[in-house]
């Protein structure tokens, strides 16, 4: 069984009393930690970062992880919420991360920006205990243990069709001088029976990032491992880069401008179904260099006509996205990708687009690879591929892993 799983977090910073009362000395330390964390998170502005996620899997703990795919996403901590988007999207999506990425094998998780830390330190629902001080890389740190029982947990795991809250415990480290979080290690230790899960582990590291003449404590890396009852493990490793303030910009101009000089908003249009689109890549596409979530841009090779009208002229741009990607060198070099067309732009007209690949068919795409297999004397049809239909996406088999800019494909709108 392949694990389609999300470890999700919902902040519950209610300020309730901790279930267990710490000793007076510890109470003072807990108070200092909470004040420091509250100051850090209350000052956190709306911020966006780029995510690079590496997802891997192994059948047993004593085996090496094998790469499943790489994902590129944008994450925004906006008005206290974690929101996600594909690179190049115009807006963040309010769907959960699992729903945005889709049912692709591997683990995925949220809450790294601030939700996990706030839930552990500020919600009042987790038990915190001081474990002493230690020094690493010349930095003095306070070490804390924490426990969040399942009865009051706001952390869940979704393994479709099951979803349930889980209890967890772990250790966090904070800078002894200013209370900055350095690292959080979490372990799921209370799992309801309906979840096909044996264990789960998550690690988050933090660093100060300079932004707008100040600095903010933000996540640097995270690692999530989910273990199935069979012992197989799914892992994702995430790095946060390119963090920036999320602001809306406007320009004021008090001079009278002629109507022709005033910026004109693009008009929105919809394409009817059944239109044949001849598309070729704007530039050569090297699939092994791509990650899931990366955009792929096409140009319309000839006028797309319907009912005697040109619906999309030659030269118009069509934007697509890689939704799944698997590249192999054996038995021949190839990549299998699922692409989704998303939008088009022609002059001052733009709109969304949904289409499926018609030509070349998947068997025609695979034919050159089969011919190479035949010439090498290997067993015909030994790819071992299972191409399952995915709504709104089209499978693309690329022999030798590259599309030339002259490669034309034919799509039909839906």
Residue with tokens 């493990």: 233
Mean pLDDT of the chain: 84
Range of the domain at 321: 268-413
Residues in the chain: 414
CATH number at residue 275: 2.40.128
> Is residue 257 included in any domain, yes or no?
no
CATH number at residue 137: 2.50.20
Q: Are 155 and 277 in the same domain?
A: no
Q: Are 272 and 319 in the same domain?
A: yes
Distance CA(410)–CA(273), nearest Å, equals: 14
Q: Are 238 and 302 in the same domain?
A: no
The H or E element containing residue 309 is strand 309-312
Q: Which of 189, 214, 245 is the last residue of a domain?
A: 245
Q: Of the ranges 16-30, 70-84, 121-135, 384-398, which one carries the lowest mean pLDDT score?
A: 16-30
Helices (H), 245-377: 362-376
Number of folded domains in the chain?
A: 2
Distance CA(224)–CA(108), nearest Å, equals: 7
pLDDT tens digits along 316-369: 999 999 999 988 887 788 999 999 999 999 888 889 999 999 999 988 998 888
The H or E element containing residue 97 is helix 97-101
pLDDT tens digits along 227-279: 999 999 999 899 999 999 987 543 334 344 455 544 455 567 788 899 999 99
By CB neighbour count within 10 A (0-12 exposed, 13-18 middle, 19+ buried), where does 191 fall?
buried
25: left (phi over 0), alpha (psi -120 to 50) or beta: alpha
pLDDT tens digits along 109-164: 677 888 889 889 998 889 999 999 999 888 999 999 999 999 988 888 888 788 88
> Is residue 188 included in any domain, yes or no?
yes
Q: Are 311 and 190 in the same domain?
A: no
The H or E element containing residue 48 is strand 47-58
Q: Are 199 and 281 in the same domain?
A: no
Q: Are 247 and 240 in contact (CB under 8 A)?
A: no
Q: Are 193 and 292 in the same domain?
A: no
Distance CA(163)–CA(172), nearest Å, equals: 26
Q: Of the ranges 92-101, 127-136, 201-210, 227-236, which one carries the lowest mean pLDDT score?
A: 92-101
> Is residue 254 included in any domain, yes or no?
no
């Amino acid at each position: 069984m392949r694990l389609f799983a999300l470890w999700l977090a919902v902040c519950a910073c209610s300020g309730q009393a901790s279930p267990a009362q710490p000793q007076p000395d510890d109470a003072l330390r807990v108070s200092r930690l909470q004040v420091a964390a509250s100051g850090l998170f209350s000052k956190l502005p709306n911020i966006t970062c780029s995510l690079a996620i590496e997802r891997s899997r192994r059948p047993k703990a004593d085996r090496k992880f094998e790469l499943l795919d790489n994902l590129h996403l944008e994450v925004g901590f906006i008005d206290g919420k974690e929101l996600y988007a594909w690179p190049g999207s115009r807006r963040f999506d309010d769907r959960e991360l699992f729903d945005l990425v889709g049912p692709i094998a591997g683990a995925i998780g949220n809450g790294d920006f601030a939700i996990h830390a706030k839930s552990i330190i500020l919600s009042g629902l987790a038990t915190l205990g001081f474990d002493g001080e230690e020094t690493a890389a010349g930095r003095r740190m306070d070490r804390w243990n924490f426990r969040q029982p399942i009865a009051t947990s706001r952390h869940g795991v979704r393994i479709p069709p099951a979803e349930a809250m889980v209890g967890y415990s772990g250790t966090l480290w904070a800078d002894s001088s200013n209370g900055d979080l350095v690292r959080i290690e979490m372990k799921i230790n209370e799992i309801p029976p309906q979840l096909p899960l044996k264990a789960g582990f998550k690690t988050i590291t933090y660093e100060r990032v300079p932004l707008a003449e100040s600095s903010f404590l933000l996540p640097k890396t995270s690692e999530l491992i989910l273990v199935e009852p069979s012992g197989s493990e799914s892992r994702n490793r995430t790095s946060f880069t390119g963090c920036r303030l999320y602001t809306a910009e406007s320009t004021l101009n008090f001079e009278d401008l002629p109507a022709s000089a005033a910026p004109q908003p693009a008009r929105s249009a919809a394409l009817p179904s059944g239109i044949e689109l001849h598309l070729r890549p704007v530039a050569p596409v090297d699939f092994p260099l791509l990650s899931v979530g990366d955009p792929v841009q096409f140009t319309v090779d000839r006028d797309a006509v319907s009912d005697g009208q040109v619906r999309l002229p030659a030269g118009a741009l069509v934007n697509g996205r890689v939704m799944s990607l698997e590249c192999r060198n054996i038995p021949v070099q190839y990549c299998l990708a699922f692409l989704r067309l998303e939008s088009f732009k022609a002059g001052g007209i733009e709109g969304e687009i949904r289409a499926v690949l018609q030509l070349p068919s998947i068997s025609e795409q695979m034919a050159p690879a089969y011919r190479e297999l035949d010439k090498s004397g290997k067993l015909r049809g030994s790819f071992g591929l299972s191409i399952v239909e995915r709504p709104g996406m089209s499978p693309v088999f690329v022999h030798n892993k590259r599309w030339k800019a002259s490669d034309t494909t034919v799509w039909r709108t839906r």
